Amino acid sequence: MQKSLSIDPAKCTGCLQCELACSYDNEGVFNPSKSRIKVFNFHDQGRFVPYTCTQCDEAWCLHACPVDAISLDASTGAKIVSDQLCVGCKVCTIACPFGTINYNQSTGKVIKCDLCEGDPECAKACPTDAITFVDANWTGLEKMRAWAAKTDSSVQAGA
Amino acid sequence: MTYVVVGAGPSGVIAAESLRKSDPEGEIILIGDEPEPPYSRMAIPYFLVGNIEDHGTHLRKTKDHYEALGITYVQDRVSRVSPADHSLTLASGGTQSYSKLLIATGASPIKPPIEGLGLPGVHHCWTLEDARNIIELAHDGAHVVLVGAGFIGCIILESLVKRGVNLTVVEADDRMVPRMMNQKAGGMIKQWCLEKGVNVETSTRVTKLEKNAKGTLNVDLDNGTQLPAHLVVIAAGVKSNTDFLEGSGIEVKEGIVVDKYLKTSVEDVYAAGDCAQGPDIAGGWSVHAIQPTCADHGQIVGKNMAGIKTPYKGSLVMNVLDTVGLISVSYGAWEGKGDGVEVLDEKNYRYMRLEFEGDKLIGALSLGRTEHVGVLRGLIQTGVALGQWKDKLKEDPQLIMEAYVATKYV
């Protein structure tokens, strides 16, 4: 059974452990600005919302890549960037309507969540279970999926 | 069923793959006219600086990719389309019949009316062959004049700077990337380039190119200046490749006119990518010669040709540019309809402008930002009602990701 990240903003306390774990594991630095998951802080409502790539079926980034540098990892379902093939053109960063693939100026490559080869550091680091790694059918993902479908301009079922 | 795809750029290749996915049985012939495996022009700037070799520009990296999918790749050029008998005339002499035809012939560089354009040392930067010619001449310290500071000119600009040439950019318009950036942002990009040691002449035209006694070129500008050049690169825009359709009955305006199924005015003939004038998400019909539109077109048209009726909701124009390290982004109706907001940090080269219609975002420009820029596409394309977030964005236009996350999850 393929698993997905499930995010429950109501449980997030804004501790940013996920951002630190992500940036450390993937970029070797404790630097939230290099994290592939980002916690948004809505002061006035007292809410925190962790957000990252949903590995959407539409895979806007993958289809927009002109040099075949983004591929589907069949074992995890993640869309992953090959640093060897990425030329740094950034087309994927404007094609992804979720804003979850970003250009890293220090490496000249793009970065996105790759589900840490099936063992996501953010979920392991989260002390409150706001981020969990669960079966892909988990209903908590429906909201994101619905949003992904709504955003899809390119394909409509039927005529 | 014989599907013929004319043009082996991203639209043609993605369409051929989409056809195979939708129709496992049909014969698929992909015709490209360049002596290379299908490749991406987007990768040329990185080829120019030696970051990648030929293989790095190829659209598909797996050996035998096309063979494995049962796609026959043919190097030839189509000189005529005869819809009445469903056949193509090939430049090599033969003919090719089709059941369904896709025209994905892309675009070609415009040749501006400048005397001496045919001289040695004058090149476009459009094909891999052009890039190889440029590499020959763009040596460290060479004098190079780049004619045109549009999107393509600016993308090559960075590569030329990295090659260590002595560069002058000449742009007829009053600012850099005039079709992607407004006065403010285009002016900031110019200022940035000047600081990086690039000479930029805006509101200036090249009037004449001629060979001098040293065997290099003299470039005459309409401001009276004459520049020496070992290399002149012409990047004065592109136009859809449709000339070969004359007399075919296929309707062409700005590009090949297609309906929402990407079908042309003629039965069994479709068009996609840079040569197609298709549905625009903002309404109407436009040629959006950009990679994301090419990719969308390719996917959709393959399904339609295979009989799976799939309407296209329309393309959104978008661009991202890296000008010697300054990253700029533009989306949609960035010229606005009178309800815009901007925030400017000129010293740090940061700028964001948002354009609204009612409580929807319709366009945006950004400079100096790499984080979450794609969400601008999501906000514009879905036409999400921003509600109270419109006011918040008017206070701080950089809060685009917060606005998106909030309208979905808070």
Distance CA B48, CA B375 (A): 31
Tens digit of pLDDT for each residue in B225-248? 999 999 999 999 999 999 999 999
Strands (E) across B65-105 are located at 71-75, 78-82, 87-90, 95-97, 100-103
CATH 3.30.390.30 applies to domain B325-409: yes
| B296: nearest CA partner in chain A | A154
Q: How confident is the model at residue A153 (pLDDT cuts 50, 70, 90)?
A: very low
CB atoms within 10 A of CB B135: 15
Tens digit of pLDDT for each residue in B303-357? 999 999 999 999 999 999 999 999 999 999 999 999 999 999 999 999 999 999 9
- Chain A interface residues facing chain B, Cβ-Cβ under 8 Å? 9, 33, 38, 40, 42, 45, 47, 49, 51, 60, 63-64, 66-68, 85, 87-105, 143, 147, 150-151, 153-156, 158-159
**What mean pLDDT, rounded, does chain B reach?**
96
Instruction: Name chain A contacts of B370, Cβ cutoff 8 Å.
Output: 90, 93, 102-105
CB-CB: which of A85, A95, A103 is closest to B377?
A: A95
User: Which two three-digit tokens encode residue B113?
Assistant: 């009316």
| Residue B216 region by backbone torsions, left for phi larger than 0, else alpha for psi between -120 and 50, else beta | beta
Distance CA B400, CA B372 (A): 8
Q: Does position B150 have pLDDT exceeding 70, yes or no? A: yes
Q: How confident is the model at residue A158 (pLDDT cuts 50, 70, 90)?
A: very low
CATH 3.30.70.20 applies to domain A1-52+119-141: yes
**All residues at 6 or more sequence positions from B278 whose CB lies less than 8 Å from its CB, including other chains:** B258, B260, B262, B271, B272, B285, B286, B287, B288, B293, B297, B312, B314, B315
Judge if A1-52+119-141 and A57-112 fold alike in CATH terms.
Answer: yes
Tens digit of pLDDT for each residue in A84-93? 999 999 999 9
Q: Does position B61 have pLDDT exceeding 60, yes or no? A: yes
The pLDDT value given to residue A110: 97
Tens digit of pLDDT for each residue in B104-113? 999 999 999 9
Distance CA A129, CA B51 (A): 43
**All residues at 6 or more sequence positions from A113 whose CB lies less than 8 Å from its CB, including other chains:** A5, A22, A36, A37, A52, A53, A55, A78, A100, A120
Q: Does position B408 have pLDDT exceeding 60, yes or no? A: yes
| A156: nearest CA partner in chain B | B310
Q: How confident is the model at residue B409 (pLDDT cuts 50, 70, 90)?
A: confident
Q: Does position A155 have pLDDT exceeding 80, yes or no? A: no
Q: Does position B263 have pLDDT exceeding 50, yes or no? A: yes
Tens digit of pLDDT for each residue in B1-31? 999 999 999 999 999 999 999 999 999 999 9
List residues bridging with B386 in a β-sheet: none
Distance CA A63, CA A95 (A): 9
Architecture of domain B122-234: 3-Layer(bba) Sandwich (3.50)
Q: What is the identity of the amino acid at B25? A: E
Instruction: Name chain A contacts of B51, Cβ cutoff 8 Å.
Output: 87
Which residue bears the tokens 């969540």? A113
A1 compared with B170, residue with greater pLDDT: B170
CB-CB: which of A94, A147, A153 is closest to B329?
A: A94
The pLDDT value given to residue A63: 95
CB contact under 8 A, B409 and A98: no
User: Which two three-digit tokens encode residue B237?
Assistant: 């825009």
The pLDDT value given to residue A142: 59
Q: How confident is the model at residue A138 (pLDDT cuts 50, 70, 90)?
A: low
CB-CB: which of A42, A99, A103 is closest to B404?
A: A99
CB-CB: which of A66, A94, A158 is closest to B43?
A: A66
> Any CB–CB contact under 8 A between B370 and chain A?
yes
CB-CB: which of A95, A100, A102 is closest to B370?
A: A102
User: Which two three-digit tokens encode residue B20?
Assistant: 């195979």
Architecture of domain A57-112: 2-Layer Sandwich (3.30)
Instruction: Name chain B contacts of A87, Cβ cutoff 8 Å.
Output: 42-43, 46, 51-52, 56
> Any CB–CB contact under 8 A between B295 and chain A?
yes
Q: Does position B123 have pLDDT exceeding 50, yes or no? A: yes
The secondary structure of B105-165 as a DSSP string is --EEE---S-BTTTSTTEEESSSHHHHHHHHHH--TT-EEEEE--SHHHHHHHHHHHHTT-
**Domain ranges within chain B, ordered by starting residue:** 2-108+238-305, 122-234, 325-409
The secondary structure of B194-224 as a DSSP string is HHTT-EEE-S--EEEEEE-TTSSEEEEETTS
Burial class for B367, CB neighbours closer than 10 Å (0-12, 13-18, 19+): buried
The pLDDT value given to residue A144: 57
CB-CB: which of B42, B299, B373 is closest to A66?
A: B42
Interface test with A, best of B318, B323, B373 (most A CBs within 10 A): B373
Distance CA B21, CA B14 (A): 10
**Domain ranges within chain A, ordered by starting residue:** 1-52+119-141, 57-112
Interface test with B, best of A94, A142, A145 (most B CBs within 10 A): A94
CATH code of B2-108+238-305, in short, is: 3.50.50.60
Q: How confident is the model at residue A141 (pLDDT cuts 50, 70, 90)?
A: low
